[in-house]
Amino acid sequence: MTGRFDISGHVAVVTGASSGIGRALATAFAEAGARVVGVARRAEALEAWRNETPGETAGVIADVGTPEAASGLSDQLTAPFGPVDILINAAGLNTRQAADEVTVEGWRATIDINLAAPFFLAQSLVGPMKARGWGRIINIASLQSVRAFPGGLTYGASKGGVAQLTRAMAEAWSGAGVNANAIAPGFFPTELTAAVFDDPERAARNAAQTCVGRNGQLSDLVGPALFLASPASDYVTGQVLYVDGGFTAK
Ligand SMILES: NC(=O)c1ccc[n+]([C@@H]2O[C@H](COP(=O)([O-])OP(=O)(O)OC[C@H]3O[C@@H](n4cnc5c(N)ncnc54)[C@H](OP(=O)(O)O)[C@@H]3O)[C@@H](O)[C@H]2O)c1
């Protein structure tokens, strides 16, 4: 990758690198020449990602599921390759508790990992980005940032929050050269969406709701993420980019 889309040499931290969207983006960024620090709790899965990924990678085994933990990680995250240029917040969970059955534990865990972790990680890493006058934060929003789905009350609340958090990060930091945007994926097959894809009728219904006529493949997210991580998006900040095959267009 050359020119405006070039991210080679940049240091990227990717949470959720052990699985799904985070793993796919961590791999793609390493292939594009970034030095990638992958973060997750499962050591084996993180090691497997590293073994299968060319380029310069490091793994940090960490739980970012509390604000205290997320804000205390900057030393570990900068140890492998130095100050971070790009943060991708892809760690997340969906408890799928029906509205009447939402528990305090489920609510807290979801808000902490989906909404608090992206902020406190960014807050702990943004100082050197601002000092250098360049940085990128990419959050992962959702169709549920703007749509209500059954069993999605807590998840939707967290993802609506991610959309607004992204705008607030842009307001706070883009004057210093740190752009913050979010990618809102449609339906992509990962551990998180196994319940959706294990039900062929449900998967087909979701595919039919898109303009393109199919569900997402993880490779569909790579171009948008590289755009938002590179100088090509210097004048793009505070936005939510729906990578959903047109699901939200209909
Ligand atoms: N798949 C979709 O269709 C879709 C659509 C819209 C939005 N999203 C969003 O995309 C993001 C990634 O989801 P995914 O579909 O790729 O799910 P996934 O395959 O289940 O991956 C989730 C990742 O988050 C990590 N994680 C979870 N809790 C953590 C914690 N406390 N500390 C550190 N890491 C933690 C997991 O690693 P460990 O278990 O190893 O810690 C795993 O790598 C999430 O924010 C999700 O809401 C997904």
Q: What is the CATH number of the domain that holds 132?
A: 3.40.50.720
Distance (Å) from CA 10 to ligand 1 centroid: 23
CA distance 214 to 239: 24
99 lies in some domain: yes
164 lies in some domain: yes
pLDDT greater than 80 at residue 1: no
Atom of ligand 1 nearest to the CA of 18: 43
Provide CB contacts within 8 A for 77, sequence distance 6+: 13, 37, 39, 60, 84, 125
User: By the 8 A CB rule, do 236 and 208 touch?
Assistant: no
C-beta atoms surrounding 66 within 10 Å:
16
The band of 6, judged by pLDDT with boundaries at 50, 70 and 90, is very high
Q: Which of 29, 119, 155, 173 is catalytic?
A: 155
| N-term to C-term CA, the chain | 34
The band of 2, judged by pLDDT with boundaries at 50, 70 and 90, is low
- Pocket probe for ligand 1: among 190, 202, 215, 241, the residue whose CB has the most ligand atoms within 8 Å is 190
User: By the 8 A CB rule, do 106 and 97 touch?
Assistant: yes
169 lies in some domain: yes
Report, as an integer, the average pLDDT of 167-185: 99
pLDDT greater than 60 at residue 184: yes
Token reading at 31: 């292939």
86 lies in some domain: yes
pLDDT digits (tens, 9 = 90+) for 200-243: 999 999 999 999 999 999 999 999 999 999 999 999 999 999 99
CA distance 99 to 238: 30
Mean pLDDT for the chain? 97
249 lies in some domain: no
Query: What range defines the domain where residue 221 resides?
Result: 3-244
95 lies in some domain: yes
* 155 carries an active-site annotation: yes
77 lies in some domain: yes
Q: What amino acid occupies position 54? A: P
Alpha helix (H) ranges present in the chain? 20-31, 43-52, 67-71, 74-78, 104-111, 117-132, 153-173, 194-197, 200-208, 222-229
pLDDT greater than 80 at residue 31: yes
Phi, psi of 105 (to 5 degrees): -65, -45
Domain count for the chain: 1
192 lies in some domain: yes
User: By the 8 A CB rule, do 155 and 212 touch?
Assistant: no
Ligand 1 proximal residues by C-beta, below 6 Å? 15-16, 18-22, 40-42, 45, 63-65, 90-93, 113-114, 140, 142, 185, 187-188, 190-193
